[in-house]
Amino acid sequence: MTPPDLQDPHTAPGRHDWCPWLYFGSATDAERDAQRAWQRRLTERLAGHGGETELTGDVYVSPWAGVFTDRLRMGERSYVAAHAYVTDEVTMGQNCTVNPYTVVRGRVRMGDGVRVGAHSSVLGFNHSMAPDRPVHKQPLVSKGIEIGDDVWIGSHAVVLDGVSIGAHCVVGAGAVVTGDLPEWSVAAGNPARVLRDRRDPPAPRAAAPAAGPPGLAARLERFAARAREQAPEVLARCLAEAPDGSPAFVDRPGAPRTVRADCDAVEVAHLLLGGPPPGIDAGDLVARLRGAQDRRTGLVPEHGGGAATLDDDSAMYHILCVGYALKLLGSGFEHPVRAVHELTPTELTARLDALPWERAAWRSGHWVDGVGTAVLVNLEDFGLRAPAADTLFGWLLTHADPWHGLWGRPGAADRWLQPVNGLYRLSRGTFAQFGLGLPYPERAVDTVLTHSADAAFFGAGRGNACNVLDVIHPLWSCARQTAHRLDEGRRWARRQLDRLLDGWRDGQGFAFALVPGAGPRHQPGLQGTEMWLATAWLLADHLGVGEALGYRPAGVHRPGPARLGL
């Protein structure tokens, strides 16, 4: 394999140039010697122009690739194929691929296992376009591109400067990636939009795909565009001052400061703007949320409250909302949630037995949600596996009612409201968050659909964010296990989605309650906006048109698992 400038001009690239993956298993000694000779020549040529080259272990660079880098680093079993064009500063981890006719330019850093399909462009630089001079005289700028481990970029995709692609992402063929993609996302389109979480279990084969009613996707696109345009105004109306004079969020104008309001603002901004909320320094917000955590217990008390305990409803919810807000801001808790980690199996069992399942299943599920999320935080961020983690799931599995699939019992006054509300909270933090199926999904669907037909909660003039979310999340989750009564659930989802989309108030967002009325629940605020935006995605995705919204919940109300198993 003689370098092209020493070859007969009529020769053509060989099989390893077009299919470099074959080189590592089938190259002869002579072919390996020729490749090593070419790598030495390439390194010398680049060094002659001040370039640095580091080719670690067994790598392959086709002599028919245009490699003109200032800095090139390639890890073990990585390759650059024929007619690829690679310039500037490129770092490739182990098992990375740049396939034929692919362009990689500017400052580009790939983790391990990044596969870039043929004819793609990864462009870690850009031209300015100020009107004071012709385009060809504009200076170049380079923010760089960061690509995490285990990423697949399909053929003909384009990744633009400044983009960060999280680990384990899949970018569809022909996509144009203009903004950051979170870990595990599957994205496609121009501009690329997140379609789903790669870890989500597939819908069952028995479930017929939902095409969505005619015109619904277009309506969702219009709604999402309107919400994005107004998002800065929605957030700005809820900006207030903390006691030290720094900006902070409240749920709605005139409301008191709460920990949750800051977190809801982060979630709304992430959903609609793809970044931190404007009007406040993201670093200051991270410092405030991290600083609110009690070092000893790992819990976060409410502003002005005393020491938080596991019996504090607000502190249990803050495990969720603060933990996920910090994740969306690129950070995390400073300390483990020790109050949960230190629970022994006996102590946890006693607490679970003592919860008011018969009369207040929602509050019981709320507590389990906080415990499950603390188990996740401690495991993912601190490598601490809770001694009672198996106890938690074992208790839930043995206490689920096989007749109705839920925990708790219906009440004389509110019928299935409490058990269904509790099902969402309980399953969100445990089964759903760890990618596990419910023990009796068909019976759960039956019960949830019975509740969804209760006019006291879903009739004309009724409905709030909690009640709708608590129905659609179990229906959406169970559809990953069974197609049982799927069409009925979709018809209900369509009715709720129609009502929801009419509830947006320009410049203010959503109120917690769908219908007009007096009191805080009828006033637009951050909590209502965040919950309804997440609920809209679940309803739309249950109908097969979730991608039309152009966002996917990634925080408290994320639909897919944050981790697969314990």
Lowest-pLDDT range, 6-20, 408-422, 534-548? 6-20
Contact 128, 91 (CB under 8 A): no
Give the model's confidence band at 212: pLDDT under 50 very low, under 70 low, under 90 confident, else very high: low
Q: 440 and 330, same structural domain?
A: yes
Q: 362 and 273, same structural domain?
A: yes
Q: 296 and 361, same structural domain?
A: yes
Examine the pLDDT at 9 and tell me if it is beyond 70.
no
Q: Are strands 247-249 and 239-241 parallel, antiparallel or unpaired?
A: antiparallel
Q: 540 and 440, same structural domain?
A: yes
- The tally of domains found in the chain comes to 2
Range 398-403 average pLDDT: 94
Give the DSSP H/E element, type plus range, for residue 52.
strand 52-55
Q: Which two tokens stand for residue 418?
A: 């409490």
Dihedral angle, C-alpha 205, 215, 449, 477, nearest 10 °: 50
Q: Which two tokens stand for residue 163?
A: 């983009």
Look up tokens 């639909």; give the residue: 559
Range 233-244 average pLDDT: 93
> For 133-172, what is each residue's pLDDT tens digit?
887 777 778 899 999 999 999 999 999 999 999 999 999 8
Mean pLDDT of the chain: 91
pLDDT at 516: 75
Within a domain: residue 559? no
Range 352-380 average pLDDT: 95
Q: 164 and 237, same structural domain?
A: no
Contact 81, 18 (CB under 8 A): yes
pLDDT at 386: 87
Range 393-410 average pLDDT: 94
Helices 389-399 and 361-382 cross at an angle (nearest 10°) of 150
DSSP structural state of residue 547: G
Q: Which two tokens stand for residue 493?
A: 């989802």
Contact 380, 433 (CB under 8 A): no
Within a domain: residue 555? no
Give the model's confidence band at 204: pLDDT under 50 very low, under 70 low, under 90 confident, else very high: low
Examine the pLDDT at 202 and tell me if it is beyond 60.
no
Contact 457, 463 (CB under 8 A): yes
Residue closest to 20 by CA, chosen among 90, 110, 84: 84
Examine the pLDDT at 1 and tell me if it is beyond 50.
no
Domain containing 402 — which CATH number? 1.50.10
pLDDT at 11: 59
In terms of pTM, does the model score above 0.85? no
The DSSP result for 391-442, as a single string, is: HHHHHHHHHS-TTTSSSS--BTTTBTHHHHHHHHHHHIIIIITTT---SSHH
Q: Which positions ≥6 away from 269 have C-beta within 8 Å?
A: 231, 235, 275, 276, 277, 278
pLDDT at 205: 46
pLDDT at 519: 85
Distance (Å, rounded) from C-alpha 405 to C-alpha 95? 46
Give the model's confidence band at 213: pLDDT under 50 very low, under 70 low, under 90 confident, else very high: low
pLDDT at 196: 82
Contact 222, 496 (CB under 8 A): no
Domain carrying residue 454: 221-549
Q: 187 and 240, same structural domain?
A: no
Distances (CA, A) of 13 to 43, 84, 103, 348, 459: 20, 12, 18, 66, 70
Examine the pLDDT at 370 and tell me if it is beyond 80.
yes
pLDDT at 469: 95
Which residue numbers are catalytic? Answer: 127
**Percentage of the chain exceeding pLDDT 90:** 76
Give the model's confidence band at 8: pLDDT under 50 very low, under 70 low, under 90 confident, else very high: very low
Q: 280 and 152, same structural domain?
A: no
Examine the pLDDT at 10 and tell me if it is beyond 50.
no
Q: Is 371 helix (H, G, I), strand (E, B) or coil?
A: helix
Distance (Å, rounded) from C-alpha 342 to C-alpha 329? 28
pLDDT at 283: 93
Q: 188 and 66, same structural domain?
A: yes
Q: 91 and 32, same structural domain?
A: yes
Domain containing 50 — which CATH number? 2.160.10.10
Q: Are strands 126-127 and 164-165 parallel, antiparallel or unpaired?
A: unpaired
Give the model's confidence band at 203: pLDDT under 50 very low, under 70 low, under 90 confident, else very high: low
Within a domain: residue 204? no
**Percentage of the chain exceeding pLDDT 70:** 95
Within a domain: residue 435? yes
> For 483-519, what is each residue's pLDDT tens digit?
999 999 999 999 999 999 989 999 999 999 987 778 8
Within a domain: residue 209? no
Within a domain: residue 462? yes
Within a domain: residue 185? yes
Residue closest to 98 by CA, chosen among 110, 84, 108, 87: 84
pLDDT at 214: 73
Rg (C-alpha) for the chain, rounded Å, is 27
Distance (Å, rounded) from C-alpha 520 to C-alpha 504? 16
Q: 277 and 145, same structural domain?
A: no
Q: 167 and 238, same structural domain?
A: no
Distance (Å, rounded) from C-alpha 273 to C-alpha 55? 40
pLDDT at 244: 86
Examine the pLDDT at 434 and tell me if it is beyond 60.
yes
Phi, psi torsion values for 449, nearest 5 degrees: -70, -35
Within a domain: residue 131? yes
Distances (CA, A) of 345 to 307, 364, 395: 24, 18, 10
Q: 236 and 168, same structural domain?
A: no
Examine the pLDDT at 253 and tell me if it is beyond 90.
yes
Q: What is the 3-state secondary structure (H, E, C) of 75-96?
A: CCCCEECCCCEEEEEEEECCCC
Give the DSSP H/E element, type plus range, for residue 443.
helix 441-452
